[in-house]
Structure 1
Amino acid sequence: MPIRIPDDLPARKTLEQEGVYVMDSSRAARQDIRPLEIGLLNLMPNKERTETQFSRLIGATPLQVNLSLVRITEHQSKHTPEQYLNTFYQTWEEVRERKFDGFIVTGAPIANIPFEEVRYWPEMLEIMAWTRTNVHHTMFICWGAQAALHHFHGVRRYRMPEKAFGVYRHRIVRPGSPWLRGMSDNPMIPVSRYNDIERGSVPGELDVLIDNDDLGLCMLEHKDGRAVYFLNHLEYDNRSLADEYERDLKSGLDPRPPENLYPNGDTSAEPQNRWRSHAHLLFQNWINEIYQTTPYELERIGM
């Protein structure tokens, strides 16, 4: 089965070229099954790229999925035209009465700002509380994961001596987790962050699923099965880290190249994708678990 996204969304052409089965609205309406309702709160500046990355992974499922693109209500994007946002996105205020089988909260490029000083933090507090009543399962990613860990569990974050930047081997801590079904013992995972979380501040209601002894925790799960927190970036495409590196070079920041990305460390070569299969496994496992456990009647979510 395919993913159902807005008919004119630019990501559609990219996904169809990659062989992802995308369904139009009329065909979806004729299928006699309840599609999964998945929401994506996109906090990244390049909305089109981020929605394509997540649609690529969500759309590989054999189930029918309705993907709703969501944005912060009052935040004005500097990188995405307002017309684009008005065409393809709903504000959180517009979806807050809805129920979702799954919901994703992305990262955001605001690593240097304390949570409480983020301009839209009051709305983030409302959204995070809302995920506990209107969403069957939530995946928080990167800054979104740090914010939720801080808010829900009092987990402390700190600034690392230098940015973790590259593709690194990680260790599967709980191979029996349904979210990690089929993964190898030491998957390669893209990392791009300045902050880490203090291990000693992680409370007992959280289980560590994926770890890296040098870079820090990668993935945690709430024991109640309602949320996972992924601190790195399996959703990244081949060029994500490379483009970030080249952007910083042009800005005069003198960054070091992302580790383990380029063949033989040659930054003039095309980056190699060493994580694609694990990205698909993670999201297929996530969608499968949602499908197996979510109520058939959407209105019963949260009850």
Structure 2
Amino acid sequence: MPLKLPRTLPAYSVLEREGVMVMDEELAANQDIRPLKIGLLNLMPKKIQTETQFARLIGATPLQIELTLIRMSDHEAKNTSADHMDSFYRPFSEVRDEKFDGLIITGAPIEHLAFEDVSYWNELHDIMDWTQTNVHSTFGVCWGGMAMLHHFHKVPKHLLDHKLFGAYRHVNQAPASPYLRGFSDECVIPVSRWTEVRKAEVEAAGLPILLGSDATGPCLIEDPEHRALYILNHFEYDSDTLKQEYDRDLDNVQVEGAEIALPVGYFPEDDPTKRPANRWRSHAHLLYGNWLSEIYLTTPYDMNRIGQDRTDLRG
């Protein structure tokens, strides 16, 4: 089944060209199906790129998905036009009385700040609490996942003396997990961050680690109590996203004087003139497809019941 998107959203034409099944709101309204209602709280500066990346992943399943783009109520986007934000995004203050089958909270390039020093932290604090009554399953990505770990479990993030940057091999540590159904024993995942959460502190909080790496630490963490997953790396990245970051960092060298390292395991033969191969796409689709499948199997058909019954509806 297709992903329901406004036809004028830039992601619509991109995904349609790629063969992803998309439908506009008029056609969706004529189908006698309750779509899964998924929200994307987009905290990334490049809104259009990020919304396209996540729409691509959640639009690849047989389920009909209604995607709602959400923004912080009072935070003004500096890298995306006001017209785009006004046309396609709804402030959290407008959707807080609604129910969602799933919510994705993206990363944000503010790792150097303490959580409480982030300008929109108070509202994000409210959103994370709101997920417990209004969202069936939440997926926190990178900084968004770290924020949820901090909020619900007091698991700290730690600043690193170097950037974890590249395409790193990760180990499947929970083959029986429904979220890793179809996964290989190992998979490659793009990583780009200056912070980490530590395995011992995650385990001390009683949270199972589903994917991890000796080089980059925990990656995919399950939080059954709060009906949440946290992924600290970037399955959603395009083939050239790390290259774009590398080129941007190179452009800033003269200004900042920093030494820029090649992304690990990314460019063929570590040659930045060669086109990087995407080695994570299939596992990315598996993970998000499995997440949506679990939502479909367990979410109430009556959306008013979301948040009222914390048990697994499959029994």
What interval of TM-score do these two structures reach, taking the shorter chain for normalisation?
over 0.9
Match of 1:274 among 254, 263, 279: 279
What does residue 247 of structure 1 align with?
248
Deviation at 1:225, TM superposition (A): 6.5
What does residue 265 of structure 1 align with?
270
- Cα distance in 1 for partners of 2:31, 2:151 equals 40
Determine if contact 1:72/1:120 at 8 Å carries over to the other structure: yes
Q: Deviations over 1:195-219 (max 9, x none)?
A: 1112232234311111112211101
Determine if contact 2:36/2:65 at 8 Å carries over to the other structure: yes
Determine if contact 2:155/2:205 at 8 Å carries over to the other structure: no
Q: 1:299 and 2:299 equivalent?
A: no
Q: Where in structure 2 are the equivalents of 1:284-295 lying within 5 Å?
A: 284-295=289-300
What does residue 216 of structure 2 align with?
215
Determine if contact 1:207/1:223 at 8 Å carries over to the other structure: no
What does residue 97 of structure 1 align with?
97
Q: Where in structure 2 are the equivalents of 1:1-303 lying within 5 Å?
A: 1-202=1-202, 203-224=204-225, 226-252=227-253, 253-303=258-308
Q: Deviations over 1:132-157 (max 9, x none)?
A: 11000000000001111011001011
Percent identity, aligned pairs only, is 52
- Cα distance in 1 for partners of 2:91, 2:226 equals 27
- Cα distance in 1 for partners of 2:285, 2:128 equals 26
Q: Deviations over 1:130-185 (max 9, x none)?
A: 01110000000000011110110010111122111000110111110001100101
> What is the SS of the residue equivalent to 1:206?
coil
- Cα distance in 2 for partners of 1:213, 1:176 equals 21
Determine if contact 1:205/1:223 at 8 Å carries over to the other structure: no
The TM-score normalised by the length of structure 1 is: 0.98
Deviation at 1:274, TM superposition (A): 0.5
The TM-score normalised by the length of structure 2 is: 0.94
Query: Counterpart amino acid of 1:22?
Result: V
Worse overlay, 16-25 or 36-45: 16-25
Q: Give the 3 Å change call, closer, same or farther, for CA 43–300 of structure 1 in structure 2.
A: same
Worse overlay, 250-259 or 181-190: 250-259
Determine if contact 1:41/1:70 at 8 Å carries over to the other structure: yes
Query: Counterpart amino acid of 1:260?
Result: G
> What is the SS of the residue equivalent to 1:26?
helix
Query: Counterpart amino acid of 1:108?
Result: A
Determine if contact 2:57/2:284 at 8 Å carries over to the other structure: yes
Deviation at 1:256, TM superposition (A): 0.8
Q: Deviations over 1:96-123 (max 9, x none)?
A: 0110000000000001000000000000
Quote the RMSD (CA, aligned, Å).
Answer: 1.0
Q: Deviations over 1:59-98 (max 9, x none)?
A: 1010110000001111111101111100000011111011
Determine if contact 2:40/2:104 at 8 Å carries over to the other structure: yes
Determine if contact 1:99/1:301 at 8 Å carries over to the other structure: yes
Worse overlay, 34-43 or 253-262: 253-262
Q: Give the 3 Å change call, closer, same or farther, for CA 9–165 of structure 1 in structure 2.
A: same
Deviation at 1:222, TM superposition (A): 1.0
> What is the SS of the residue equivalent to 1:69?
strand
Residues paired across the two proteins, number: 303
Query: Counterpart amino acid of 1:99?
Result: K
Deviation at 1:29, TM superposition (A): 1.1
Determine if contact 1:154/1:201 at 8 Å carries over to the other structure: no
Query: Counterpart amino acid of 1:104?
Result: I
Which stretches of structure 1, 4 residues or more, deviate above 3 A after TM superposition? Answer: none
